[in-house]
Structure formats: structure tokens, C-alpha cells
Amino acid sequence: MPPPAQGTPRQVLIGTLIAALALSLFASRGLQSWADAKGDSALATMIGDSGRAMSDGIDRLGLTGPHDALRRAIRRIESAHWD
């Protein structure tokens, strides 16, 4: 078995930022609706506001394609009748 991969703190930070960016492309709109469903707590409001700001920014940059494609694929799968 090969030894576990090790990285410098800088590599870990860069990997984390890349993963956060990829996740934001797929989940920006979902975060907003998730926070809205959590009620009127201060944390839900803060997350909802942040999610709306992030979603608006991603919309302005035109990067909503991955999220939209994923949603279309899920809807197609859900509408298929699995008999």
C-alpha cells in the first residue's frame, strides 16, 4: 500500500479553495432555498443573505450552467418512470 499523500499547508488551502469554488457552482441556488426553509433564526438569515449574494454574483458572471445542467438531469431522471 502506498504511503498516504501529504501536502503543504499552501497546497491544502489551494485545494480547499478550488473545492469551495466547484461546490458554489453546483449549490449556489440550493443554499439560498435551504436557508429559507430553516426559519427565522439569525443564523438562517445570515446564511440566506450570504447565499443570495453568492448566487447573484455567480449569475452576474454567467457561471450558472453547471447548476442548471445538474437540475435538468435530476428532473429528467425523476420524470422517468422506473417500472
Q: What is the pLDDT of residues 14-28, one digit of tens each?
A: 999 999 888 877 777
pTM: 0.54
| 58 Cβ neighbours under 8 A, 6+ residues apart | 24, 25, 28, 64
Where residue 4 falls (left for φ over 0; alpha for ψ -120 to 50; beta otherwise) is beta
pLDDT-based confidence at 48, cuts 50/70/90? Answer: confident
